[in-house]
Chains A and B, each alone.
Chain A
């Protein structure tokens, strides 16, 4: 039966039509073998555009369709659905990308762009002449989600998914959930106490029947695919049996070893057996094996002797736990850039009184190492003159990161306000490049800080040096055009947010891409901001890019909504464009198995009749649930037995023929 192709060419307003001579493309391609109908339209993706396709399919009895418009990334699903509504198999379709790959990049040469558009349309016509109907199958969905990272992003995601009725594993590598937010003192612009609004959420997560919190644990393996991930979690040895520990705190009180606390960012101490902070969840200790005297050299063991319930267990080992989940949310958050390794002009960390904004949060925090008194690290004196330097590591192409870290302008305004408010006779100087305050009630907050007397100096700091017990800050005031020297008691750096250490490994495990700075890449920067290009893997919070708390929480709820939508289905349709092995041609060499990144190919024994005798032999077999249609196997297969449905060797060759003709 003769093929009846419908060809629909889109103007995309002036996006295509302003460069490509669309009527000429129709003219030049409408006589291509098999084309039964050809036309053009201003916006093919619009409702009238789609209705045009549907009516023409019916009117001209078309059996397949080509749309020449934008990238298939954008509207392939739209048009597939349209032709399905017209009664055709949705895979009897191909798209020619004459926008991103033609008009947008050749806008300075209209004639060449038109020629290229004609060639691209002919390619699509050649391909569509070879297509066959494909059918989706379905796979079951595991109705459980994994959330990696239990900062405010992860906690919010977990709560929202759990509230929608699905089970959640909330995974955290530290000994408590809470992340960076619980370290903060107040939150801008409302000055709510950070712990007062985040610790109740931690408790809520701990008590939610649908949430399983796993702290002191790391993701070590991910297998499977959307709806059906098989994950492996390493539960690090805590050396304390949390099932019997009552959290009485006797052990931490009596432990003789004190080390710098990472929770206090090196400004306070903790014991070798410790609970990070009083509101930690779970509120039970772990032993730090690098510093515990017993674990290091077999002496001490005081905690074990004193524990009234015998919960201390030095024999505990790391444990691997396997779980099945249908969706994964990455919420691994941020670290601050290691400025000590980059900024020699600020002393490479040699000056004790040059600290980061997060350290300042601990200093000013009532539950911090100084009980909320602003005391500088070197001698515990209250600083009178505090200099803040913004954009340390951010917006610095020469030495660090190009991007803006987004939260620093606001928290620096908050810190300056706190200096003025809390220190009698306190002065705050802020070196800045720009003041960026896009957010609800943000600029009002900044203005208030300026009105209170914070002195904003537009310029960079070239050097800090110690002179007696003062830090001399040398900088430029670029508005006055003069050099500035300030004798400061304390210098606070607004350091860049960077992806947290180890996020690269999580990206690898989950099969998600990261950008040049190490942040996770969303599926679309505007329209799919919480999804990734890997089905079933979602993003929340600062792991995707620097964010403040309101944006983080919004994104977390967005990711949770996506997960809830996915998990609300019993099963999901699979993409039919996957590998098919022609067993007659397969020699069973299994080179395809070697190159398959999804472990979708295995060996299978088939029985054939040769000369009337049954003969057993090995062939490759594809797991249709695991195959993602990447095509590696089709390239590797020497016999041509492996073929990608929708991109068969025959189809690709006919496209090449059409382009080269």
Chain B
């Protein structure tokens, strides 16, 4: 399967582990990710508050370029990028006036022929047997709380691939990797996203709720699918501990890192070293 791949701005910063592990896993699964040439900002977080038109135009420029690649499907790891691309794609397909207007702005005309998939969906629809055949070090005994965040499966009119209230795609992938997945309550609660940067006092309370629920469900680690979720749950764990007097120490992984681990890819290659929480605990469980 070939995809036009949109890396997103966190790909060599906060989300570096996601980028590394996504490519490593994709290679194992025979998925070809072709980076969209001259890709640009997806418009997440800021643009929809400034201008709706800008919010459609930014991702549409990338869709326009991707359409020219002749691949037909676009994928991206970041939940915010995915949301932006999928939303613009739906609006551009449905609204001809908007399409003409945006195309005249971006200069990269988009006809509306693409499908946009999150990397979660792209991996989740791979034949389970194909995934299983690559799993050489099953994550037996590892209890994973799969966390989807607020954007990946919502709103269902735009995302649509998984249940918006009790999503299962990451859970199913983790099960194929041999892990034990947990039925826990906070799969789709908001992590605070950019409030982790702009208003930490609010964000730590939101992060605290998610971490508390994961710990209560007896999770060894949390699996995420968004650089912002990872930043908040991983890096800001110490902020929660400091500001709210807690003592969380739970590793947070991109689901692709855990899948990669089960496929025998080395932890270093997957980016285990650049976490803020201690990842060794998980490695010791898996062995």
Contact = CB atoms under 8 A, between A and B. Distances in A.
A466 interface: yes
Contact of A467 (B163, B166, B183, B216): B216
B32 interface: no
Interface string B202-226: 0000000000010010000000000
B29 interface: no
Interface residues of B, number: 9
- Which of B164, B185, B213: most chain A CB closer than 10 A? B185
A345 B164 CA distance: 9
Contact of A465 (B163, B164, B185): B185
A142 B186 CA distance: 64
Contacts of A350: 183
A135 interface: no
Interface string B149-166: 000000000000001111
B185 A344 contact: no
A237 B186 CA distance: 50
A488 B101 CA distance: 52
A467 B215 CA distance: 12
A465 B165 CA distance: 11
A465 B182 CA distance: 14
Contact of A348 (B166, B185, B186, B216): B166
A331 to B, nearest CB: 36
Interface string A114-158: 000000000000000000000000000000000000000000000
Contacts of B186: 465
B216 A344 contact: no
Contacts of A472: 185
Contacts of A348: 165-166
Interface size bucket, A side? 10 to 19
Nearest to A466: B185
Contacts of B164: 344
A350 B165 CA distance: 12
A194 to B, nearest CB: 34
A596 to B, nearest CB: 45
Nearest to B184: A465
A350 B216 CA distance: 18
Interface in B100-116: none
Interface string A394-406: 0000000000000
A345 B165 contact: yes
A463 to B, nearest CB: 8
Contacts of B165: 343-345, 348
Contact of B163 (A344, A463, A466): A344
Contacts of A345: 165
Contacts of B163: 344
Interface string A455-474: 00000000101110000100
Contacts of B216: 467
Interface in A315-365: 343-345, 348, 350
Interface of B: 163-166, 183, 185-186, 213, 216
Given A463-B185, A467-B213, 4 more contacts: A344-B164, A348-B165, A467-B185, A472-B185
18 contacts: A343-B165, A344-B163, A344-B164, A344-B165, A344-B166, A345-B165, A348-B165, A348-B166, A350-B183, A463-B185, A465-B185, A465-B186, A465-B213, A466-B185, A467-B185, A467-B213, A467-B216, A472-B185
Interface of A: 343-345, 348, 350, 463, 465-467, 472
6 cross-chain pairs, A with B, having the tightest CB-CB distances, nearest first:
A344-B165, A465-B185, A344-B166, A345-B165, A344-B163, A348-B166
